[in-house]
Amino acid sequence: MLEPEPATVANTLATLRQWSDAGWLRQLDSALAAFVAELDPQATPALLVATALVAHMEGRGHTCLPLAPLVARPGAVLAWPAEAQDALAQLWAGLPVPLADWQAALQASGVVHVPGGGGLDAGQPLVLSGTLAAPLLYLRRYWGYECAVAQQVLERTASPALAAEPGANMDTCSHAGADSLRPWLERLFAPAEGVPVPALSESSKASASEEPDGSATDWQQLACAIAMRGRLSVITGGPGTGKTYTAARLLALLFAVDAEPERLRVALAAPTGKAAARLKQAIDAALGGLHQRLGGALDLPALTQRMGAARTLHALLGARPDTRQFRHHAGNPLDVDVLIVDEASMVHLEMMAALLAALPPTARLVLLGDKDQLASVEAGAVLGDLCRDAQAGRYSTQTAQYALTATGQALPAAFLEQGGGAAPALAQHTVMLRRSRRFGGPIGQLARAVNAGDAATAHQLLAHDASGALFSQEGASPAAVLELAVHGRAGAPASYRAYLELLAQRPSAPDADQHSAWVLRVLTAFERFRVLCAVREGEWGAGGLNRAVQGALERAGLLQARGEWYAGRPVMVTRNDPALGVFNGDVGLALPAPPAAAASGSAAPGLRVYFADGAQLRSVGVGRLAHVETAFAMTVHKSQGSEFEHTVLVLPPQAGAVLTRELLYTGITRARQAFTLVAAQPGLLATAVQQRTQRASGLQGLLERGPGA
């Protein structure tokens, strides 16, 4: 057998271009490798391959390229289709075998910066970081983002302090401040009158440490107490665990202990408009209920009014059109004392870096989210990285003593740092809510089975649920999705028929109030049902199913689609437009405008796209919306932050890397009352359950070592 010839710069670049033509790489990826070859006349094939692949990995949501697994098993890291594996093996045969040779090739290049390596940081496009055993290659921009996020997190968790004791270090101070929180925490978390939720007795609180699973611990109360210690707190948990419920009580607690509560500046935000509206609605309702229960002891309505509307992160930071820049940054920080961000799993690395930079050093940031949901569409899995220790707890003895003083609860021993080592600083500011009050039925059971990787139980639940909450069709065709969209199913009648029937019942000659009430009814009915897809393209993707559902609704006589814009068209905004007040992910309906507005004329006379923010409406003329797509079907990624009465999750015939446990879990937890799985082939459920989403990141390492290490 002939020995493979060593790769050369010329044939390596040619191979990378061929891979781009085949669709295995992006054209951008191979172009970056060619650019590096121009910058560095001494570039090696290993450097060029690594350059193309680090760009490729960024396009798939990774913030860096882990070199050790790539060198050893490139096929496993890249997860390319079978037809690409032979080409990959052929190239790899001509590249260095030892990891050290790859590292040497990168370190020797003038286009690669090695932090701590003694060389000059001249803004090189690539950065080689990580450790000797686990080197990580970055595009410069993402290395900068990770360092910035790590630095901010470390600074904000370095010296926990009580609101009642500004600047106090909890490891050395008395617990007088913590003790002062306890009366308020007991009042805020007391069961509502007439609600049979027993409060924990003093004996049960004190013996909570004997419950290894933490079932006797009020994690919501603990989360509030923990959040009072510092300028960053993370509250994670699945659907129904009470994240916004807890956040509302945290706001009330901050309001209660603040020396000047009337001056407390609070802001609410989320990655999407829908998530922001839901956050505001939930917080307002919770604060209203608390105000009544507290007998007016706190002026919570004033706090609610001063908060104003929840905003998207882009709107909060002041996105500048057609740039990556924001109006608010370190030099022009946000005017807030407390910022609560919901659906934090959707926040990508670049956005988190911008958000942390724009926060005043004294402001508190509270991140809410489900660590088990899909990570952001763009690069990074920040919440997952921050919640690495959430399940285990890893609380220090100081944190446990603080919790006992502030809440009267003894943390279970299983959640304390073991082995006498130093407990991670971030873990002392992170709480996982562990008890779901909404997902206790079949949907919750299914979500937990999927999250645990138990495909057999998940299949049993779907196949044998008698309540009507769960249903599955395996080996189905797209026609099954269309039937559900038009008619729903037994046990889950919600479908698109409901909102279209209301559309046809538009009041004749309505006044402004009547028209708004009708619009809200139509929007509410539309939000009862949604088709969620794993992919965008193809007949099983969002694009193909949108066209198919529209056609099915037309054939059923429920819709009259004439041209691009028609009454009843659901649309999703795909690009931020601050001037119009619409942002990526906002979903609305094209509906007839009131007669006065219709007379003004537009590209589609009489039609505006209406968006609901709780009970509030906003609208934009259809002629002004350039960046939208039809939204009968949407990707699971785009559905985060929303919930629907009946959710249909569609699995395509080609599983690939996109079908993961996290995608299933996220799709299932979008359903409030009914969930239907439609799979093109049997076995796709089990395939997805066994496949985890892995996002390459160096953030955890930077948090352990420090950005300068």
| 8 Å CB contact between 622 and 590 | yes
Q: Is the pLDDT of residue 277 over 70?
A: yes
Confidence at residue 368, expressed as pLDDT on a 0 to 100 scale: 95
| 8 Å CB contact between 65 and 50 | yes
Confidence at residue 352, expressed as pLDDT on a 0 to 100 scale: 95
Q: How many helices (H) and strands (E) does the chain have?
A: 29, 20
CA dihedral 546, 550, 556, 562 (to 10 degrees): 180
CA atoms of 312 and 576, how far apart (whole Å) = 10
CA atoms of 300 and 468, how far apart (whole Å) = 41
Confidence at residue 174, expressed as pLDDT on a 0 to 100 scale: 36
Confidence at residue 645, expressed as pLDDT on a 0 to 100 scale: 93
Rounded to the nearest angstrom, the gap between the alpha carbon of residue 375 and the centroid of all alpha carbons in its chain is: 5
H or E segment and range at residue 677: strand 671-679
Residue 680 φ/ψ, nearest 5 degrees: -70, -25
Confidence at residue 340, expressed as pLDDT on a 0 to 100 scale: 95
Greater confidence (453 vs 298) lies with 453
Would you put residue 138 in left (φ > 0), alpha (ψ -120 to 50) or beta?
beta
Percent of the chain beyond pLDDT 90?
Answer: 51
Least confident range from 128-137, 371-380, 455-464, 483-492: namely 371-380
Q: Is the pLDDT of residue 204 over 70?
A: no
Confidence at residue 159, expressed as pLDDT on a 0 to 100 scale: 63
Confidence label for 423 from pLDDT (cuts 50, 70 and 90)? confident
Q: pLDDT digits over 519-578, tens only? A: 999 999 999 999 999 888 888 999 999 999 999 999 999 998 888 899 999 999 888 777
SS in 3 state form for 142-165? HHHHHHHHHHHHHHHHCCCCCCCC
Confidence at residue 112, expressed as pLDDT on a 0 to 100 scale: 95
CA atoms of 339 and 663, how far apart (whole Å) = 28
- Where are the extended beta strands (E) located within 240-324? 266-270, 311-312
SS3 category, 307: helix
Confidence at residue 709, expressed as pLDDT on a 0 to 100 scale: 58
Cβ count near 196 (within 10 Å): 5
| 8 Å CB contact between 63 and 380 | yes
CA atoms of 413 and 210, how far apart (whole Å) = 7
| 8 Å CB contact between 642 and 273 | no
Confidence at residue 708, expressed as pLDDT on a 0 to 100 scale: 64
Per-residue pLDDT averaged across 622-650, rounded?
90
Six-digit token string for 179: 């003790």
Per-residue pLDDT averaged across 251-262, rounded?
85
Query: If we measure between CA atoms, which residue out of 423, 383, 412, 384 comes closest to residue 222?
Result: 412
Confidence at residue 401, expressed as pLDDT on a 0 to 100 scale: 92
Chain mean pLDDT for the chain: 86
CA atoms of 405 and 399, how far apart (whole Å) = 10
Least confident range from 161-170, 385-394, 671-680: namely 161-170
Radius of gyration of the chain (CA): 27
CA atoms of 157 and 389, how far apart (whole Å) = 15
CA atoms of 321 and 330, how far apart (whole Å) = 19
Rounded to the nearest angstrom, the gap between the alpha carbon of residue 28 and the centroid of all alpha carbons in its chain is: 26
Per-residue pLDDT averaged across 200-215, rounded?
49
Q: Is the pLDDT of residue 513 over 90?
A: no
Residue 281 φ/ψ, nearest 5 degrees: -60, -45
Give every CB contact of residue 41 below 8 A, 6+ residues apart in sequence. Answer: none
Greater confidence (215 vs 222) lies with 222
Q: From residue 294, how far is each of 184, 217, 482 by CA, in Å?
A: 10, 24, 50
Query: If we measure between CA atoms, which residue out of 26, 48, 49 comes closest to residue 38?
Result: 48
Give every CB contact of residue 389 below 8 A, 6+ residues apart in sequence. Answer: 424, 426, 427, 430
Confidence at residue 211, expressed as pLDDT on a 0 to 100 scale: 55
Q: pLDDT digits over 301-337, tens only? A: 888 888 888 888 988 998 887 778 899 999 999 999 9
Confidence at residue 215, expressed as pLDDT on a 0 to 100 scale: 64
Per-residue pLDDT averaged across 137-151, rounded?
95
Give every CB contact of residue 187 below 8 A, 6+ residues apart in sequence. Answer: 294, 297
Would you put residue 424 in left (φ > 0), alpha (ψ -120 to 50) or beta?
beta
Confidence at residue 48, expressed as pLDDT on a 0 to 100 scale: 96
Confidence label for 655 from pLDDT (cuts 50, 70 and 90)? low
Query: If we measure between CA atoms, which residue out of 676, 214, 601 comes closest to residue 446?
Result: 676
Confidence label for 199 from pLDDT (cuts 50, 70 and 90)? very low
Q: pLDDT digits over 146-187, tens only? A: 999 999 999 999 865 544 443 344 343 334 478 888 888 988
Confidence at residue 14, expressed as pLDDT on a 0 to 100 scale: 94
Confidence at residue 106, expressed as pLDDT on a 0 to 100 scale: 94
The edge-to-edge listing of strands for the beta sheet with 430-433 is 311-312, 266-270, 338-341, 364-369, 232-237, 430-433
CA atoms of 654 and 652, how far apart (whole Å) = 6
